[in-house]
Amino acid sequence: MADEDILVCAADAVTEGGKGVRFLVTAGGDDGTGFVVRYGGKVYGYLNRCAHVPIELDWAEGEFFESSGLYLMCSTHGAIYAPESGFCAGGPCKGGRLRPISVVERDQQIFWQPDDYVRPARA
């Protein structure tokens, strides 16, 4: 529902296979970040927490894709994930996946939608 949508950024801030945009969340009671990336023309949102070890993925702020632009990669141990599903595609994340965050793109903006686990960041 639209009243739950929380603005992340302008849609043109997230380029195909390029830099993602981070945003603050509270996940399972812990402060953290989520992120959005664009792949195959669509935006995808995930909790910024590797399935292998619960640390943030990006090696520099917003840098989630590995050099080919085909996979999201954890900068610490090299776990790679399919950007359209969050499923582990290789590395130490065997059988894991990134925690999806529902995102919607409309009116040239990207919004995220809280759920039972991922909530707006505490003030």
Cα-based angle 49, 25, 103 (whole degrees, multiple of 5): 85
| pLDDT 10s digits, 71-90 | 999 999 999 999 999 999 99
State the distance between the two ends of the chain, measured CA to CA, in whole angstroms: 23
In the predicted model, is pLDDT for residue 67 greater than 80?
yes
pTM of the model: 0.94
- What percentage of the chain exceeds 90 in pLDDT? 89
CATH assignment of the domain containing 89: 2.102.10.10
φ, ψ of residue 58 to 5 degrees: the values are -65, 135
Average pLDDT over every residue of 94-115 = 96
Helix (H) or strand (E) holding 89: strand 88-90
Structural domain total, the chain? 1
Domain that holds residue 102: 2-120
| pLDDT 10s digits, 14-41 | 999 999 999 999 999 999 999 999 999 9
The one-letter amino acid code at 31 reads D
CA 11 – CA 21 distance, rounded (Å):
10
